[in-house]
Amino acid sequence: MELDGIEVVLRHPDRPLFAEGITKQQLADYYVRMAPFLLPHLRGRPVTVERHPRGVGHGGFFQRHLPAHAPPWLARVEVPRRPGGRMEHAAIARVADLVWWVGQDAVAFHPFPVRAEDPWHPDLLVFDLDPPRAMGLEEGFERTRQLARLLLARLEAAGCPRFLKTSGSRGLHLVIPLRPGPGFEEVRALARRLAEAVVASCPDLATLALPRAARGERVFLDLARNAPAQSLVAPWSVRALPGAPVSTPLWPDELEDPATGPRRWTLTNVATRLDARGDPWADLHARALSWEELQARLEAAAKAQAP
The tens digit of pLDDT for each residue in 234-288 reads 999 999 999 999 999 999 999 999 999 999 999 999 999 999 999 999 999 999 9
Instruction: Return all residues near 15 (Cβ < 8 A) that are at least 6 apart.
Output: 23, 24, 55
DSSP secondary-structure letter at 125?
A: E
Please state the pTM of the whole predicted model. Answer: 0.95
**Per-domain residue ranges of the chain:** 2-111, 124-305
145 and 230 Cβ atoms separated by less than 8 Å = no
CA dihedral 174, 186, 283, 240 (to 10 degrees): -40
pLDDT at 303: 78
Query: Is 124-305 in the same CATH topology as 2-111?
Result: yes
What fold characterizes domain 2-111? DNA primase, PRIM domain (3.90.920)
What top-level class would CATH report for the domain 124-305?
alpha beta
- Position 307 scores a pLDDT of 63
pLDDT at 39: 98
For residue 245, say if its preceding peptide bond is cis, omega within 30 degrees of 0. no
Residue segments in the chain with a per-residue pLDDT below the cut of 50: none
Q: Under DSSP, is residue 155 helix (H, G, I), strand (E, B) or coil?
A: helix
Q: What are the distances in angstroms from CA 213 to CA 143, 172, 192, 204?
A: 18, 21, 21, 15
pLDDT of residue 152: 95
Q: From CA 174, how far away is CA 249, in angstroms rounded?
A: 10
* Contact call for residues 1 and 27 (beta carbons, < 8 A): no
